[in-house]
Amino acid sequence: MGRVDTQLLPGPLQKAVDGFRRYLEGECARSAHTVRAYLSDVESLLGFAVQEGVQELRQLELGSLRRWLGAQSEAGMARATLARRAATARSFTGWALREELIETDPAVRLQAPKRDKSLPGVLQQQQVSRMVDDLNTAAADGGPMALRNRAMVELLYATGVRVGELAGLDIDDLDPDRRTVRVLGKGNKERTVPFGVPAAVAVDDWLRRGRPAVVGATSGPALFLGVRGNRVDPRQIRAVVSELLQALGDTSATGPHALRHSAATHLLDGGADLRAVQEILGHSSLATTQIYTHVSVDRLRKSYQQAHPRA
């Protein structure tokens, strides 16, 4: 079941959707992208329930929730998406219970298929070096976009920040003396992340020789700019990194998140403390960071099997 036109929802249900939107935007301070995703899921759920005769939230039952997920599963929806939609449904009905729009929470016992436990794509350190060498070669000509691309990739790998966090950086978020950057993450949580000398050199080169060549009236304080002087768009960053990874030719890693995965894994491989990596990545839960220990163990196991004579 896809997104349902909210104009088809009965008044009480539409009122609940509007209230949930205000809750997400206000109390939760969710990003616009996250709010849209949550509302799309809720509208899909309520649209399905309306087809089953539900006219107000108090009529919503566990059976409808299960049939809603079941219909999507039969349509071939990925388990990860089903798990996300089930989580959204639980958030929505939990909010409705607190707001006394319903007397009991029908989603308490709602379950969805478990997510596939796939490990994230990770670059080898030699592959990162090759990618940086390509960026240095391109930047040698001094073109502003080549300088920008090198600085963006160096900073992505050095800090492990998300692509949206990188796009949102302003110049004064940098502390060149301490080699740290102030990052505004999910839920408007701020953290300070260190970076190394190569990233510092690349960013400084961009600020001195690249950014002044494209800065314009609409640039504002944005650290990274597009060719027309506007703040760089996350899609532009994804395109740059995807092209670089494709050029390597010997990795399954794709997109900017591969650099985040790689940074975390290489930190742990180098002996970094798990909680320090959690702080750097901005994870609210240590359990999220622990997947990178699995990556490290998996890499260790492969190395052992290849190298040990009795493996």
Asked if 295 and 265 count as a contact pair (C-beta separation under 8 A), the reply is: yes
Query: What pLDDT score does 3 carry?
Result: 41
**92 and 158 fall within a common domain:** no
Query: What pLDDT score does 135 carry?
Result: 93
Asked if 260 and 88 count as a contact pair (C-beta separation under 8 A), the reply is: no
Query: What pLDDT score does 276 carry?
Result: 83
Residue of 36, 66, 257, 299 marked catalytic: 257
Query: What pLDDT score does 1 carry?
Result: 39
Q: Decide if 257 is catalytic.
A: yes
For 67, phi then psi, to 5°, come to: -70, -35
Residue of 30, 148, 162, 266 marked catalytic: 162
Query: What pLDDT score does 295 carry?
Result: 56
CATH of the domain at 22: 1.10.150
Residue 291 CB contacts under 8 Å (≥ 6 apart), including other chains? 119, 120
**79 and 145 fall within a common domain:** no
Q: Decide if 30 is catalytic.
A: no
Residue of 15, 58, 186, 209 marked catalytic: 186
**90 and 142 fall within a common domain:** no
Query: What pLDDT score does 80 carry?
Result: 79
- Can you tell me the distance from the alpha carbon of 247 to that of 265, in angstroms, rounded to the nearest whole number? 22
**293 and 219 fall within a common domain:** yes
Structural domain for 75, as ranges? 6-98
Q: Is residue 182 classed exposed, middle or buried when 0-12, 13-18 and 19+ CB atoms within 10 A define those classes?
A: middle
Q: Establish if 160 belongs to a structural domain.
A: yes
Number of domains in the chain: 2
Query: What pLDDT score does 2 carry?
Result: 40
Beta-strand relationship, 174-175 and 180-184: antiparallel
Residue of 85, 150, 260, 266 marked catalytic: 260
Query: What pLDDT score does 298 carry?
Result: 57
Q: Decide if 38 is catalytic.
A: no
**60 and 129 fall within a common domain:** no
Q: Establish if 106 belongs to a structural domain.
A: no
**90 and 143 fall within a common domain:** no
CB atoms within 10 A of CB 267: 19
Print the SS3 string covering the chain.
CCCCCHHHCCHHHHHHHHHHHHHHHCCCCCCHHHHHHHHHHHHHHHHHHHHCCCCCHHHCCHHHHHHHHHHHHHCCCCHHHHHHHHHHHHHHHHHHHHCCCCCCCCCCCCCCCCCCCCCCCCCCHHHHHHHHHHHHHHHCCCCHHHHHHHHHHHHHHHHCCCHHHHHCCEHHHEECCCCEEEEECHHHCEEEEECCHHHHHHHHHHHHHHHHHHCCCCCCCECCECCCCCECCHHHHHHHHHHHHHHHCCCCCCCCHHHHHHHHHHHHHCCCCHHHHHHHHCCCCHHHHCHHHHHHHHHHHHHHHHHCCCC
Q: Decide if 308 is catalytic.
A: no
Query: What pLDDT score does 310 carry?
Result: 62
Q: Establish if 113 belongs to a structural domain.
A: no
Query: What pLDDT score does 41 carry?
Result: 93
**137 and 238 fall within a common domain:** yes
Q: Decide if 260 is catalytic.
A: yes
**In angstroms, what is the C-alpha Rg of the chain?**
23
**192 and 93 fall within a common domain:** no
**145 and 183 fall within a common domain:** yes
Question: pLDDT truncated to tens, each residue of the chain (311 aa)?
Answer: 344 444 478 889 999 999 999 999 988 888 888 899 999 999 999 999 999 999 999 999 999 999 999 888 888 887 878 888 999 999 999 999 999 999 999 998 888 766 555 555 788 888 999 999 999 999 887 789 999 999 999 999 999 899 999 999 999 999 999 999 999 887 788 899 999 999 999 999 999 999 999 999 999 999 999 999 999 999 999 999 999 988 888 777 778 888 888 888 888 888 888 888 888 888 777 776 666 666 555 555 665 566 656 64
Handedness of CA 268, 270, 273, 276 (dihedral sign): negative
Six-digit token string for 212: 């002044």
**56 and 170 fall within a common domain:** no
Residues, the chain, total? 311
**Of residues 232, 257, 231, the one with CA closest to residue 242:** 257
Instruction: Tell which of 98, 117, 133 closes a domain.
Output: 98
Query: What pLDDT score does 265 carry?
Result: 84
Query: What pLDDT score does 257 carry?
Result: 83
Q: Decide if 283 is catalytic.
A: yes
